[in-house]
Structure 1
Amino acid sequence: MKLKLFLIILSAILIADSKFAQQNYENMAFAGPNGNFVNTGSEIPFSASGKIILFKYKIERSLANQNSWSEVTQLSAPENYSSFLNNIYTLNQQLKDSIPASVLPLELIWKKAKQFERLDSLKYLGNPLIIRMALGVTYLDKETSPNQKYVYKITKLDRDGNSIESFTTNAVSFPGKYQNNLFTIFSKNASDKFIRLTWKADAANSPARFNVFRRENFQDNFSLINPVLIYNSDENQIVVTIVDSLVQKNNTYEYYLLPLDYYQNEGTASDTVTLPAFSFNKIFPPYNIQVEGADSLDGLKLSWSFDNKNDITSLKIFRSVYSEKDFKEIAEVTGFDSIYFDRTAEPMIKYFYYFQINDQFGEVPLSSAKVFGLYQSKQIPPPPFYLHTDSTLTGVKLIWNKPDEYVNTYHIYRNFGNDEILSELSSIKSSDSVIQFIDTTSTLKGDKIYYYSVRAENNSGRLSNFSDTVQVFPKVKAIITTPKLLKGYTLDGKVFLYWENLFPENQNLEGYKVFRKNKANNSSNENFVALFDSLLSPKQNNYVDTSCIAGNDYEYTVKSYDISGAESEYSPYIEITLPTDPVLPPSGLTITNRDNGILIQWDPLISNKIKNVKIFRYERGSEPIQIGNVNADEFQFLDTSTIKDNLYFYFIISVDNYGSESNRSEELGIRRL
């Protein structure tokens, strides 16, 4: 729990102090509010550890541009965990805004420091300023004058006090200046037990920490408090939320944020927010509102019930001749009133009224329902029209048009089972001319058709007939069953595949795709290639691959798809080797002398897998040479390049469609006549 709280506090520091990701000797001194912070390096100066070279840091100071050095201090890391704790507790008292020791994982930090002996190896654990100072790699120099620039020389000393290496820092003077972007209030929420406030600011110049100040009932000065603080940021903005649970019911509180940078310099405070510790959610607006004609007063009588009389400042009454516009305040009464006479109402005009609740700050957290006077309408309103849907990633969006000006409430209906029976899903109030509603019910499934309809309710509580019914597939990702029990075999140079039929258990199944890859490539699923673009029928749980090549080793897998377009994972793949048929040489070889050469002939080829025939010739003592190449449907070749009385030997070879060659045919010899 301590580590989790520490990580929350550290999140702002990690953003604000990204400069420590890499050591830069030209930028190692920084101004604080009461002195200069000097960073010495990444190595933790253990002077009594098991290191081969023991060392400490010597810090010297000079006025800028004078090169007149005086020793400030010598830094070394604490020798043991007890000394490390003493450093932390001492620094907690000295540093104005350090992280409390109670939220730091000190034992883990010390263990990592002893293990690695380098600050950068501690990663986020080494980022808090108090940790750097406690380990002897950062020093706060308070023995300087404000607004005077100083430079520092950092020297690494061995155990005998000899210099190993040194560097000079940048010039620096305190007090430091921190210019943050202004934090403005974004949201506020109050109750009897807590107050929650959220501020926002642009992300540039991110603070490292925040102080929260509060004042109660406008008395005394603001004081520093320690509420729950939640920090979030991205590349565009920073969001800070505080939750103050130490409040008293009905008391009024003021709050503001004070950002600080990594070196405790104060920035520009946020705007101040004022609100009471009271929840208006517990107040129920006026109800049982009645508007009746008061003939004796030449006007209308408004009567109502209201329970929370002591919790508000007043009730304001608004009136208009329109249901949704041009309302004007006509009276303000106390919470204890329950009757008001509108003597300015004119006869035979319908007036609309509503009540507004006001708190002590003039804000308007609640308003009553609108009511009208003159008569009680018994007409059924027209149903919503032009109802249509838009499936979103978060649910199903319904859009429709307002049927008339007296309708402000809508009832949404949907089927919940596998049938088309509609039941009420929700009701909403809206005065917009175009109304939207998003169904984000967790039971929505992407592989199911849903039906929707809407009914309108007018100001008199009358319900319309159902609107047109629409249907939609949600874009909710459906869980599609992966094909199982994939098996296969080879026959006549083809691969026959089959798998378990998923259609009986999923009627929304759209079909399957078969994927293949050559086993010689690699084993990643990314290299599987679909054997066809369209889907197989959902009831076809088999496929014959006719595009495979004899002699290759293949892996096959299958995916299933539903009617919403969702797809399953790859099924477990199977390996299939397509055997190679031997290529046989032509038979029946004969050779005869002809007037213009030697004619080589052979029997017609039986296999339809032979592409061509190669003819070879040689003489005794020489290598065979190819003298011809004919198509498989030719059965002879005339050698016209022979010389009279020479003895020649011939043989032929078959070549199949994949380029594989047969053995030699029988050899025959003949002398050219």
Structure 2
Amino acid sequence: MKSIQYIMICLLFSANVFAQKTQNPFRITNTPNGIFIEFGQKTLIGKNFELLRKASNETTYKSIAKINAPTSIEEVKRKIFQASEVFVEGSRPTDKDLDKFWASYQAQKPNILSLVSVVPQFEYIFGLAYLDKDVRPNTKYQYQLTDGRNILFTSANAVVYLKQKYFPRLQELGQTTTDKAINFEFAYPKQLFMLTKFEVKRKLFTSKSNEYQTIKPAISLPSDKKKESIILSDTTLTTYAQFDYQVHLSDIFGNKDTTTYNFEGNNIPTQLIPEITNIKIEPAKDRRAFVLTWNLTQKDFVQNIALFRSRDFDKNFESIARFNKTDEIYTDGIEVANELYFYYFEVTDIFGNKRKTIKYQKVYEGSYIPTPPSNLTSKLTPQGIELSWQATDPNSRGFYVFRKEGIKSDFMQISPIILSKNGTGKYTDTTKLDTESTYFYSIRAESDTYEKSTFSDTVSYRPQGNQVRNQLKAPVDLNLTFRDGKAMITWENLNIENPQVLGYQVLRKSESEKDFKIITPKGLSFVHNYYVDSSFFSENKYQYVIVSLDAQNHSSNQSRVLSLDLTGKFLMTPDEIGFERKDKSILLKWTEIDESRIKNIKIYRSEDEGVSKLIATLDKNQRKFTDNNVVKGKIYIYQIATVDLSGKEGNRSEPILINN
């Protein structure tokens, strides 16, 4: 009636299923068409029964079916036809080899009786199971089985009929590979195995198509019989490759799980995996560069090789070169000496798999003193004295500006490093200078080995008494975002175009404050053109402005105002909700909530399939609530919501269902 493979699987599982039998044999399953009741035991085979049922709103059991064991092969064929209304296609019994099976059944062969008392399809055909179609959703039912005179069994607990069945999740996934198969093992209750169908789909890992092809894996048990797990084996592989798998669960009655499980696996033998070995990084003899050499195994299985480089160990890696399987040397020019460089290779094989080597590090050591800049000129601008110059050395990475007051004083550095732009530099001195003094400026270059040149030629400047210095430029292109309880403000780095801007300050005020207050008392460097604020208190509305700073800590006008409204941003519901049933009440309990941002807590409840209604408003410190207005035999669904300080109600918690 089923394929030989299915019968063998059932026999494999029979010992485990029999071990779970109790004095009460009822096994009850929700299906799209009703409640399926099983009471398979060897001692009940061949007998006739009457099935009784009681709903939650009824006081007595009522007869719903008389179940008779078949006495002829014609009756078995009739039950096979009726089974098409119970089981979905692919799980329906057929009359294949029925004559042999019926003969073995009549001969009371133990292995056949074992199958009849365990497999749901056989139980239904031979009078050990029944589909109760006359049931209503969200209603609780209990069942009794009688032989017409005595009550044989009563279901231990009432069952609620829900059209959407709960499926246990696959857990503890493990993956192994053999020469001809990929095996996936995962934890799953064995007693549910014969009700569950595993649909497996597969596609090549490197495939650009999103289409998965359905396959039929072999299903087996692990050798360790103590494990509650299942093994799916893909033995249909025809080539070495890496694959993506999808697994969907359904059952023999047509229930479908909404979860999709995604797995990866490959059947590539380790001896076919190419590797890069003997990697060496040495400085070049005649130029500023590293020479990288390496060896490659399994060259015939290599598609390409990529080389990545960064000056950070764990970020900012960029692909700098690609090679074929015959390449074994590469020269990498170095931009900055005396800095750590990190490298790794990535090999892509013909199966589309990518493998990275470990990271290798190297420092190009060098010492180079640059020549001083030339053509230093100055001009007066509304912001101050503007200096410009040219580099005389191709290895000059940047410059420093020096100033002294009077001919006999010493030069003092007044700028951070000014990176070279096409061999030129520019700087504006916005300092308010003494009109009674003459000032001298000079520039020093810095090489990429961090050595400094001697001073350039000088230029002089004497401020005029009526000179008025314009204010610094205020930050522009401001942006404010809020995420994960933090506000981030970003703005344009003004130092790029306005070298006199050497830093910033952030000011903030809440809705109850009159003036802005500095929240960055030490100031931010000019390269630090962003700020993250997480120090919020009970208020919901804030405003920010940014000002620029120069070398003397003079500040610009304020930027435009950025507004932040946190109303509803911190609304939270409990992480966990629990309950206790009392004689005449239900006690709800929940975990801590951030009290500083909520005004009160609301409790919502619905009965059976009714509308959810507000039943209580609690103080924000409350962590439990007793519902005294409950009735035995009803289903209650509770949800908890919070209200913020402005009176806005947030989302409700996940519903908690209680069968009272």
Report the TM-score when normalising by structure 2. Answer: 0.40
Report the TM-score when normalising by structure 1. Answer: 0.40
Structure exhibiting the larger radius of gyration computed from Cα positions: 1
